[in-house]
Amino acid sequence: MLPDFHFHILLYLAIAFCLALVSGKLIKLIKLPNVTGYLIIGLLFGPYCINLIPQAAVDGLSIIPTVALGFIAFSIGAEFRISFLKKVGKTPVVIAIAESLGAVLVVDLALIFTGNDVPFSLCLGAIAAATAPAATLMVVRQYKAKGELTDTLMAVVAIDDATALIFFGISTAIAKAIESGGTDSLLLTIIDPVVEILSAVLIGAASGLILKFLVKWFHSRGNRLAIVYMMICLCVGLGEMLGLSALLMCMMLGAVFANTSGESDKVFEQTDRATPPIFMLFFFLSGAALDITLIPSVGMIGIIYVLFRIVGKVSGAWIGGKISHASAKTQKYLGFTLVPQAGVAIGLATTAMSVVPAYGSSIRTIILCGTVIYELTGPVITKMALKKAGEITAE
C-alpha cells in the first residue's frame, strides 16, 4: 500500500480523472460497461487497496457524488412525460411495487426461516427494496439502449425510490413495535415516510415550475445550464437540510419541467452533454469508498441477503409484468436490470441504526458489503439483460 502523500485536493481530482479515463478505455477491451471500470479502478486506487487516493481525499470530494445523484435523478425525471406515461400505462407502477415488495418479502422469509430474529430480518429485508438508478442510467446511456424494456426500466427505477421508502417505513415500524412490545407509535411511524415522500414531491414540483420560468427569462446555453445546476443544487441542499429524499425532489424537478416547458428537450440535451465528467467521478469515488475488508465479516446472513434480494427482484418484476400484461421480454429480463444498490440503501441502513440499535451495526455492515458486490456486478448484469432482450444492438 502506498503512503498518504497529502497532495492538494485538486491534484487528487486530476488523478481521479486520469485513472477513470484510462479505466474506461481498458474496460472496453473486455466489453464491460464503463461504470464497472470506474468502480474497479476507484476501488483499486482508493484507501482500502493501493491508497493513492486516501480517505481524506475521498471525504474532501464527497460533494461530487452528492451533486451527481441530483443530476441522475433529474435525468430520470425527464422520463416521466405525460405522453410517455399514457403510452406505457400502469405497467411501470405495478412492476415497481411488485419488484420492491418481492425483494422485501423474499429476504424477510429467507432470514426468518434461517433462525434470525424477526425485527432484524424485517429491517434488513426492508432495505432490499432499494435500487441504485445511477448505474442503470449509465449503462443505458453508454450502449444507447432502446426499446420497450428500456422505457419501462427507466420509469421503474424512478418510482423505485418511493416504493423503497414506503416499504422501509412499514417494515421498520413493525420491527420497532415488536422490539418495544407496544403498538402505540406504529401508525405514526408508518405515516412518517408517506409524509416525507409527499413533501419531497411537492418541493420538487414547485422547483420544476421555477425552473420553467427561469428558462423563459434566460436564453443563452450557458445561462440555462447554470440555472439547471442552481436548481439541482437547491433541491439536493434542501433535501439534506430537511431530511427529505433529494432523489425524489430532483426527479420531480425534472418531471415537472419536462411536462410544462417547451424548451425542455433542448435543456435536457445540453445537460446530458455537460454531465459525463461528473458521473465519471461519481462512480470512481463510489468505488474508492467501497470497503472490501467488510466482505469476510458478513457470513451466511450476508450471503442470504445478497442472493435472495436478487431472487425477490427478479420474481417480483416477473409477477408485476404478468399482472400488467407487459411484453414477454420485459417480464423475463427487467428484474435483472434492478440488481445495483448503493446510496439509498446505505442511507436506509444508517436510519436503521437508530430504529433498532441492537441490530444497527450488523445491518449497516451487511448493506455496505452488499453494495460492493452489487455495484461491481450489477452494471454487467444490466448490460447482459438489455442485450439478451435485443435492446443493445451495437457496442
Residues 225-257: tens digit of each pLDDT: 999 999 999 998 998 888 777 777 888 899 899
Taking 80 as the threshold, does the pLDDT of residue 190 lie above it?
A: no
- pLDDT tens digits, one per residue of 128-171: 888 877 777 778 887 888 888 888 888 787 777 777 777 877 77
Number of residues assigned to the chain: 395
pLDDT at 43: 84
Q: Is residue 169 part of a domain?
A: yes
Higher pLDDT, 40 or 169: 40
Do residues 100 and 157 touch, judged by C-beta distance below 8 A? Answer: no
Residue-wise over 193-209: b if at least 16 C-beta within 10 A, else e? beebbebbbebbbebbe
For residues 349 and 253, what is the distance between their CA atoms, to the nearest angstrom?
26
CA distance 205 to 208: 5
Averaged pLDDT, 318-322 = 89
Taking Cα atoms as reference points, which of 251, 246, 259, 247 lies closest to residue 212? 259
Residue 157 lies in a domain: yes
Residue 51 scores a pLDDT above 80: yes
Answer yes or no: is pLDDT of 279 > 80.
yes
Does residue 287 lie within any of the structural domains? yes
Instruction: Indicate whether 3 belongs to any domain.
Output: no
- Decide if 105 is inside a domain: yes
Domain span at 202: 9-388
Number of domains in the chain: 1
What whole-number distance in Å separates Cα of residue 124 and Cα of residue 370? 11
The larger pLDDT score, comparing residue 365 to residue 11, is at: 11
Looking at residues 313-319, what average pLDDT do you find?
90
The arithmetic mean of pLDDT across residues 188-195, rounded, is: 68
Indicate whether 394 belongs to any domain. no
What are the φ/ψ torsions at residue 178 (nearest 5 degrees)?
Answer: -65, -40
CA 363 – CA 357 distance, rounded (Å): 10
Residue 160, domain CATH: 1.20.1530.20
For residue 187, pLDDT over 70 is answered with no
Residue 122 has pLDDT above 60, yes or no: yes
CB 95 within 8 A of CB 155: no
Residue 393 lies inside a defined structural domain of this protein: no
Q: Most distant CA pair in the chain: distance in Å?
A: 62
Residue 275 forms part of a structural domain? yes
Distances (CA, A) of 241 to 89, 232, 238: 35, 14, 5
Distance in angstroms between the alpha carbons of the first and the last residue of the chain:
36
CA dihedral (116, 122, 123, 125) in degrees, to 10, reads 90
Q: How confident is the model at residue 14 (pLDDT cuts 50, 70, 90)?
A: very high
Contact 284, 136 (CB under 8 A): no
Grid coordinates belonging to 82: 405525460
Mean pLDDT for the chain overall: 81
Helix (H, G, I), strand (E, B) or coil at 47: coil
